[in-house]
């Protein structure tokens, strides 16, 4: 029962993160397209496209970091871990996930303060309060924490991580 819940949680969390990455990427694509068309002489390129491109890239990274961590695409030393004997690779993966979760928790409060400071600033071109932009760091840490906890649970429950082709079928 616990394994089924955890499998469903992992799947739902991954699906949510991928949808949010897709949304941020769509905004990025549309904004860059407007930039390119504006610079090609069809019309004047709006000044706000530079800022929106950066903001979309920040959120795309924030939403995608957890999925990258879970699939091993973020930063991984599998070549070292997989060459070790017995349960040592499993222990190293567990230790890594625990450290990532602890660091995420430790950085949440400073990230919250950083986000609050943004309310005193506005972006020059869009005029948005910067706390909405600074919140991307808070989102990154939140997603990294959730995915690290997900990995800890998966390791403790001996859930084998889905292959990358199976994960692509989730969406």
Give 46-68 pLDDT, tens digit per residue.
999 999 999 999 999 999 999 99
| Residue-level pLDDT at 50 | 92
User: What pLDDT, on a 0 to 100 scale, did the predictor assign at position 65?
Assistant: 94
For residue 168, the model assigns a pLDDT of 42
- Helix, strand, coil % in the chain, rounded to nearest 5: 75, 0, 20
For 137-170, letters b (16+ CB in 10 Å) and e give: bbbbbbbbbbbbbbbbbbbeeeeeebeeeebeee
Containing structural domain, residue 75: 2-168
Instruction: Determine the longest span between alpha carbons in the chain, in angstroms.
Output: 63
Total-model pTM:
0.83
pLDDT per position as a tens digit, 104-163: 999 999 999 999 999 999 999 999 999 999 999 999 999 999 999 999 998 898 865 443
Q: DSSP class of residue 83?
A: T
pLDDT digits (tens, 9 = 90+) for 63-89: 999 999 888 777 666 777 778 888 888
The total number of structural domains that make up the chain: 1
Residue 71 carries which DSSP code? H
């Amino acid at each position: 029962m616990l394994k089924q819940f955890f499998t469903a949680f992992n799947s739902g969390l991954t699906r949510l993160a991928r949808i949010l990455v897709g949304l941020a990427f769509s905004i990025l694509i549309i904004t860059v397209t407007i930039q390119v068309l504006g610079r090609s002489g069809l019309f004047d390129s709006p000044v706000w496209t530079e800022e929106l491109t950066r903001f979309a890239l920040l959120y795309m990274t924030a939403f995608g970091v957890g999925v990258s961590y879970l699939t091993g695409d973020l930063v991984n030393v599998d070549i070292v871990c997989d060459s070790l004997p017995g349960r040592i690779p499993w222990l190293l993966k567990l230790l890594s996930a625990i450290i990532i979760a602890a660091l995420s928790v430790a950085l949440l409060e400073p990230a919250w303060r950083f986000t609050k400071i943004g309310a005193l600033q506005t972006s020059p071109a869009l005029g948005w309060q910067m706390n909405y932009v600074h919140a991307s760091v808070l989102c990154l840490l939140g997603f990294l924490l959730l995915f690290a906890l997900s990995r800890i649970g998966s390791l403790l429950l001996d859930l084998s991580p889905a292959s990358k082709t199976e994960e692509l079928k989730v969406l």
